[in-house]
Amino acid sequence: MTDVDILIIGGGPAGLAAAIAAHEAGCRNVLLLEREPALGGILRQCIHAGFGMHVFKEDLTGPEYAQRFVRRFHELGLSAQCDTMVLSVTPDREVTAVSPAFGLQHFRAKAIVLAMGCRERTRGALQVPGWRPAGIYPAGQAQRFVNLDGWMPGRRVVILGSGDIGLIMARRMTLEGAKVLACVELMPFSSGLTRNVVQCLDDYGIPLLLSHTVTEIHGRERLEAVTVAQVDAQRKPLPGTDQRFECDTLLLSVGLIPENELSRAAGVRVSEVTCGPLVDEALQTSVPGIFACGNVLHVHDLVDHVTIESTEAGRQAAKYAQGQGEAGIPACQMLQIRDGAGVRGLVPQTVCAGRVADVLPLMFRPAAVFKDAAAVVRLDGEEVLRKRFRILTPGEMVRLVVPKEVLERHAGAGELTVGVEV
């Protein structure tokens, strides 16, 4: 059994930022465990640009963004163990891991930061009917094949779902010599960032078929074609709208799911909306001393937000490990954070107003597309903050900050809601 102050599970952008922040907060016994052979997480395969606009005021590619944190991580003398798979986490923060270099290991941590990221939704989860041939891949897996392994998954491609990875892969496959026939989206709007729709589809003349879906898979061995149909307002395929696309590859970009199997086994309560742990303003889960950040907490679309959130998680974990957690602060009334109209998946879910340092960041996804709308924060029904947006879409997470003074003015409030008002 090895004792560590802070154990960080996952060496992607979330884990790296949390480790650096914990170190900078004075923790010197921090260990990061990563299952891949190198640090950087999913950023290693995101060779496109668009990262770092908020954190560095620069437009970086994924590997470059990751490298800045990896370099800082090493400069600070932080230690990481790659090729290491965490097998279990217990509620009293004992962690079992396995790696070729160190075999089976047991750790006991004063604080744990969960930063395992997310996985992609699969065809099975979508229940697309038809054959089960080769050539159907989650877009992120195809991205890994192309960008890290140097393998091409196919030559004629249809993309189901307009999530960012799917859009990015439309361009990536095109630049690698494949023909992308269409990007098919069930909803009447794209779930990806606008800039990706413009730069990855429009630039290459790839049609975006909104309110469409794949209704059948053809091909016994390798994919041969897909049937695409238009859907009605209830997202049911409309008869007579079938189109057949002859293709050898179907990429799925239909959503990401936080990977919380370890968290659940540790007794961490998980939200049914975000699929990530329920956390408080310190990003602490329902298990004391276990913190969560990044895509394991809720699926982000900007890595910059992951970095900001994870820096906070690392700092809070350090506080906890140094014994300055909740113990030192007088108990205060808990604010319950609830999704109002047009809002989904607010994080955090509970807040102790007295423990908020300067501002309380709130993150959520709009439930639909709203134009010229306002996000309105209410404490026990009373409006305390209003921010206007030209456009709100489910594809772009919203981050609001509530100043501490606002919370103090309404001390004693029991419920905070955020809603969208048009």
Partner 1 sequence: MSERTVTCIGCPMGCRLRVTLEGGQVSAVDGAACGRGAAYARQECVCPTRQVTTLARVRGRREPLSVKTAQPVPKALIFACVEEIHRACVVPPVRIGDVVVKNVCGTGVDVVATMEAGVGVRI
Partner 2 sequence: MTQNFSDVLVIGAGVVGCAVARELSRYALRVNVLDQAGDVAEGSTKANSAIVHAGYDAVPGTAKACFNVRGNALFEAWCRELEVPFVRNTSLVAAFDDRDLAALEALRLRGARNGVPGLRIITQDEVRALEPNISRAVIGALLAPSGGICCPYGLTFRLAEHAAANGVTFHFERRVVDVARAADGLWQVTTADGGVFRTRAVVNASGLYADELNNTVSAQKLSITPRRGEYLMIDKQYAGTFRATIFQVPTPLGKGVLVSPTVDGTLIVGPTAEDVGDKSDTRTTADGLRKVVESAARVWEQVPAGGVIATFSGLRAHGDRDDFVVGEAPDAPFFFNAAAMESPGLTAAPAVAVWLAEQIGKRLNAQRVTSNVHHTATWKPFREMTDAQRIAAIADDPSYARIVCRCENVTEAEIRAAIRCRIGARTLDGVKRRTRAGMGRCQGGFCTPRIIAILCEELGLKPEQITKFGGGSNLLVTTHGARPATLGLSPERRASSVESREPCHD
Task: Give residues in contact with partner 1 (CB under 8 A).
Answer: 37-39, 44, 47-50, 53, 59, 61, 63-64, 67, 74, 80, 82, 146-150, 175-176, 193-195, 197-199, 203, 301-302, 390-391, 396
Residue 345 contact among partner 1, partner 2, none, beta carbon within 5 to 8 Å by kind: none
Q: Are strands 85-89 and 94-99 parallel, antiparallel or unpaired?
A: antiparallel
Q: Work out which of 85, 341, 391, 411 binds partner 2, going by CB under 8 A.
A: 85
Indicate the residue among 223 and 308 with the shorter CB distance to partner 1: 308
Q: Toward partner 2, which CB reaches closer, 135 or 340?
A: 135
Paired tokens of 63: 């590997």
Q: Which one-letter amino acid corresponds to residue 397?
A: M
> HSE of 3 in the Cβ direction (CA atoms, 13 Å)?
2
> Shortest approach of partner 2 to residue 130 CB, angstroms?
5
Q: How many CB atoms are closer than 10 A to CB 405?
A: 10
Candidates 1, 57, 77, 220; binder of partner 2 (CB under 8 A) is: 220
User: Given the rule CB under 8 A, which of 82-90, 280-288, 292-300, 354-362 is the region that contacts partner 2?
Assistant: 82-90
What does the DSSP assignment read for 275-332?
A: SSB---TT-B-SSTTEEE-GGGTS--S-HHHHHHHHHHHHHHHHHHHTT-SGGGS---
Strand ranges inside 27-73, DSSP E: 30-33, 49-51, 60-61
132 vs 123: CA distance, rounded Å? 10
Nearest to 248 by CA among 146, 155, 381: 155
User: Buried b / exposed e across 365-380, counting CB within 10 Å, b at 16+?
Assistant: bbbeebeebbbbbbbe
Residue numbers 108-167 binding partner 2 by CB under 8 A: 119-120, 122-125, 127, 129-135, 138, 140-141, 144-145, 148-155
Partner in contact with 215, chosen from partner 2, partner 1, none, beta carbon below 5 to 8 Å by kind? partner 2
**Identity of the residue, 99 or 241, whose beta carbon is nearer to partner 2 in the bound complex:** 99
Report the partner that residue 29 touches, choosing among partner 1, partner 2, none (CB closer than 5 to 8 A by kind): none
Residue type, 100: P
Which residues, in sequence order, are CB contacts of 361 under 8 Å at separation 6+?
308, 309, 312, 399, 400, 401, 402
**Position 358 contacts partner 2 (CB under 8 A):** no
CB of 304 to partner 2, least distance (A): 25
User: Which residue, 52 or 154, has its beta carbon nearer to partner 2?
Assistant: 154
Write the interaction track for partner 2 spanning residues 166-185; mark x where CB under 8 A is met and - where it is not.
--------x-xx-x------
Please state the closest distance from residue 266 (CB atom) to partner 1, in A: 26
CB of 178 to partner 1, least distance (A): 12
Q: Which is nearer to partner 2, 18 or 181 (CB)?
A: 181
